[in-house]
């Protein structure tokens, strides 16, 4: 599934949907390692990738490298960044990063000490570590002991198309462990939603026919199911938006540019697809009221 995600991203970048100078280094077809073939993807898929607010830190994702090169001096860059995935994927990513000059330079080049073995890499502030998300206690222990993460510091967790592959009991345990251990944290999570309607059932059977059983699909039945899972896991605040709502809220010049890259046969199919993916946000403290938020923003400015 990671190879397919990487190939879809490479295709979207090649057509100009968004920029990611590192995607060819991590995805086969451009000298990279991840498979996924070079098949072109329908424009609905590319628009979906472009509209994602967050590219999550797993698989062949290159968000850290993109952030570092786009804003090399920014003081808001995180003081630690961890890409965690199953060992097969981290081994591949370690090989990609250590054997590619462009990726090495993006993570600090000669300026940082890079310690790595086949499965993990530590180039503080950047880390790649193997972690099975079905074992949350081990995940937290790895973050603390191998990456030096301080659970008392503000932390953002990103999960892009990942939780849906875990049984719901496992994703709930993981979410509970993160909410419980990281008391100043937020979670941004992107995956399928509304899978209980007819379109959702067809999506599920398409995944199944590609040999991909979505073990966590029950948590994706509706927006409420997604939200309730976060609340049940102990996150005090949680909100869910379908990608249709997110897309409609994006700046019009930006959507207009992307919609000129490739025409859609029909808009309805794209809207349906957007209706079946969501962004969920959870926070370890209740959301501020709108006036409170405005006051806080004013004091920062
Ligand atoms: C569809 S890919 C998404 C990759 C990346 N987040 C992206 O969107 O480009 C799903 C990822 O979830 C990872 N994954 C699935 N089950 C996992 C588990 N139990 N523990 C850790 N990672 C897992 C896979 O290895 C794969 O990299």
Residue 30: what pLDDT? Answer: 44
Supply the residue whose CA is at minimum distance from atom 22 of ligand 1: 85
Query: Is residue 63 in some structural domain?
Result: yes
Residue 21: what pLDDT? Answer: 81
Q: 160 CA to middle of ligand 1, Å?
A: 8
Residue 181 contacts residue 144 (beta carbons within 8 Å): no
**Predicted complex ipTM:** 0.99
Contacts of 25 (CB under 8 A, 6+ apart): 31, 32, 62, 96, 100, 102, 103
Q: For residues 188 and 52, give the distance between their C-alpha atoms in angstroms, rounded to a whole number.
A: 11
Q: For residues 124 and 84, give the distance between their C-alpha atoms in angstroms, rounded to a whole number.
A: 15
Residue 125: what pLDDT? Answer: 86
Domain count, the chain: 1
Residue 54: what pLDDT? Answer: 32
Computed from CA positions of residues 252, 254, 255, 257, in that sequence, does the dihedral angle turn out positive or negative?
Answer: positive
Contacts of 200 (CB under 8 A, 6+ apart): 192, 194, 220, 221, 276
Per-10-residue mean pLDDT of the chain, 301 residues long, equals: 81 84 75 52 70 49 82 69 93 95 91 94 92 94 91 88 95 95 91 96 94 94 96 95 93 92 91 95 85 74 54
Residue 81 contacts residue 127 (beta carbons within 8 Å): yes
Query: Is residue 29 in some structural domain?
Result: no
Query: Is residue 30 in some structural domain?
Result: no
Query: Is residue 238 in some structural domain?
Result: yes
Range of the domain at 210: 1-24+53-299
52: Cβ below 6 Å to ligand 1? no
Query: Is residue 288 in some structural domain?
Result: yes
Give strand ranges (E) for 169-259.
Answer: 185-192, 237-242
129: Cβ below 6 Å to ligand 1? no
Q: 258 CA to middle of ligand 1, Å?
A: 27
Query: Is residue 32 in some structural domain?
Result: no
Q: Residue 280 burial (CB < 10 Å; 0-12/13-18/19+)? A: buried
Measure CA 237 to chain center: 20
Which CATH number fits the domain that encloses residue 1? 3.40.50.150
- For residue 129, what is the DSSP state? E
Supply the residue whose CA is at minimum distance from atom 8 of ligand 1: 160
């Amino acid at each position: 599934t990671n190879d397919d995600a990487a190939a879809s991203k490479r295709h979207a970048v090649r057509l100009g949907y968004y920029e990611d100078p590192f995607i060819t280094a991590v995805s086969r077809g451009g000298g990279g390692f991840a498979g996924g073939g070079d098949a072109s993807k329908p424009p609905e898929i590319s628009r979906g990738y472009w509209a994602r607010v967050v590219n999550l830190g797993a698989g062949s994702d290159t968000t850290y490298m993109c952030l570092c090169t786009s804003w090399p001096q920014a003081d808001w860059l995180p003081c630690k960044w961890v890409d965690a995935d199953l060992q097969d994927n981290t081994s591949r990513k370690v090989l990609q990063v250590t054997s590619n000059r462009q990726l090495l330079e993006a993570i600090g080049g000669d300026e940082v000490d890079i310690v790595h073995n086949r499965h993990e890499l530590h180039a503080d502030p950047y880390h790649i570590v193997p972690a099975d998300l079905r074992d949350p206690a081990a995940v937290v222990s790895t973050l603390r002991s191998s990456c030096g993460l301080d659970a008392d510091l503000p932390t953002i967790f990103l999960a892009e198309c990942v939780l849906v592959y875990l049984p719901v009991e496992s994703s709930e345990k993981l979410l509970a462990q993160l909410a419980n251990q990281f008391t100043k944290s937020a979670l941004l999570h992107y995956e399928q939603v509304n899978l209980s309607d007819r379109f959702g059932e067809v999506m599920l059977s398409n995944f199944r026919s590609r040999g991909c059983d979505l073990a966590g699909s029950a948590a994706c039945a509706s927006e409420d199911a997604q939200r309730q899972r976060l609340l049940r896991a102990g996150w005090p605040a949680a909100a869910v938006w379908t990608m249709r709502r997110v897309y409609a809220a994006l700046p019009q010049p930006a959507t207009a540019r992307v919609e000129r890259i490739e025409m859609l046969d029909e808009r309805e199919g794209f809207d349906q697809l957007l209706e079946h993916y969501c962004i969920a946000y959870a926070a370890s403290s209740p959301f501020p009221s709108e006036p409170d938020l405005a006051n806080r923003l004013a004091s920062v400015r």
